[in-house]
Each structure stands twice: as C-alpha cells, then as structure tokens.
Amino acid sequence: MPREPYTRVEGTLYYAADGAAGRALAAADDELGALIAQVGEVRLDIDGDPFVSLARAIVDQQISGAAAATIWRRFEALCGGRVTPDAVLGHTTQDLRGCGLSGQKTGYLQDLAAHVADGRIDFAALAEYEDEDIIETLTAVRGIGRWTAQMFLIFSLGRPDVFAADDGGLRRAVARLRGVDANLPKAAIEAMAEDWAPHRTAAALFLWKALNTTDD
C-alpha cells in the first residue's frame, strides 16, 4: 500500500485520469477506466535513500505500524541519527537486538548492510538494471522477497510498469474491480494486469487509492 517516504523526497510520480497513462489504461479496460475517473488522480513521493527504504521495509515486516515506528526510532538513534550500512555493521548483534529487533530481523539487516558494503548491491548501478534483474539482486538478501523488491521498484525507483500480485491490497482491489474472489491464484491476477502494461504502476496506484477510499 502507498506510504509516506521514509527519508527525503527524491521525486514524485503523478498520474491523472486525463494524463497519458490514465487515458491509455481507460482505453485498454473499461472497468478500470471507470475507477480511474472516480479516483481522478494519484501522487506518490519517491524515497531518496534506497538503503533506508529497504532497511525500513525489513523492520516493518509482520508487526503493527506503531511498533515498527518505535523500533525504527531506537534503531535510528543507535545509528547516530542516520541508518547506513557502516552504522549497522558497526554495532553488535546484541546492540541491534536492544532496539527491539528480533534475532531474525537483526540478521536480515546485517545481511543487507553486508551486501551494500562489499559491493554486491551498488544502488547507483542498480538503478540502471531491468526490473527483473533488480528483483533478482535484492532477493539474494535474506529477508527480502519479491514483494519487497517490487515495492522498492515503485517507491524508491519510480518504475512505471510494476504490479505486485502478492500484495493483499491489490488483490482485494482487483477482486472488487472484476467482481471475483480475492483468493484467485496469483497467476490469474497477473494475467488480468497484463492488459495494463506498460502502465501497471499507475494502475496499482489508482487501485490502491480506490481501495483506501472505500475502506475508510
């Protein structure tokens, strides 16, 4: 689901019903077109620090937003106010656990920091990769799966054609759009989204916003 950037804003994705992506999606899919007309526009600020974005995604896993925010503040303070690979690797496992991190998440953060520190992940180079190559690189880190990598593509790189069929919110939104069971196989959701290429990120943002509006 869309969220506020964790660090500075690098840029902004903006899609409107009368913009190029909005018009193309409406032409390809009448039902989505009607939803886009209702939503009107979507805007997403892009995270400016890719390491922090991934580290925060790990911290956020499987706990409430309030708990994650508390742990992150402690973790950030331990790192001297800025979470970097060197700051993570400069502290012991016990130090990191003292912030409230589980042993598993501590290991994930250390593995991410090690991948960046030794050059296995070079964020400047990564930005030039194709989407699937980025996913392959990131999922080599323990604790980062395909969904997290796809969120990185959207929220940190602003890639225009990403649709995360594993995302529960998108699955519910597509189910409402089509009037089908939200427990459809992932492959069926992906097949529906194929019609929205090469604007699947815009489609996802419109669907997320529509879902949030109806859930409120």
Domain end among 112, 143, 174: 143
Count of the separate structural domains present in the chain: 2
pTM recorded for the entire structure: 0.89
CATH of the domain at 82: 1.10.340.30
| 62 and 129 share one domain | yes
Catalytic residue (choose from 167, 181, 215, 216)? 167
Domain span at 79 = 50-143
Digit-by-digit pLDDT tens for the chain (216 residues) are 555 556 667 789 999 999 999 999 999 999 999 999 999 999 999 988 999 999 999 999 988 989 999 999 999 999 999 999 999 999 999 999 999 999 999 999 999 999 999 999 999 999 999 999 999 999 999 999 999 999 999 999 999 999 999 998 999 999 999 998 888 888 999 999 999 999 999 999 999 999 988 654
| 127 and 171 share one domain | no
How many CB atoms are closer than 10 A to CB 127? 12
Residue with the two structure tokens 């526009």: 41
CATH of the domain at 175: 1.10.1670.40
Q: Omega of the bond prior to 198 within 30 degrees of 0, cis?
A: yes
Beta-bridge partner residues of 16:
41
Active site residue 167: yes
Strands (E), the chain: 9-16, 41-47
| 13 and 85 share one domain | no
Domain end among 96, 115, 143: 143
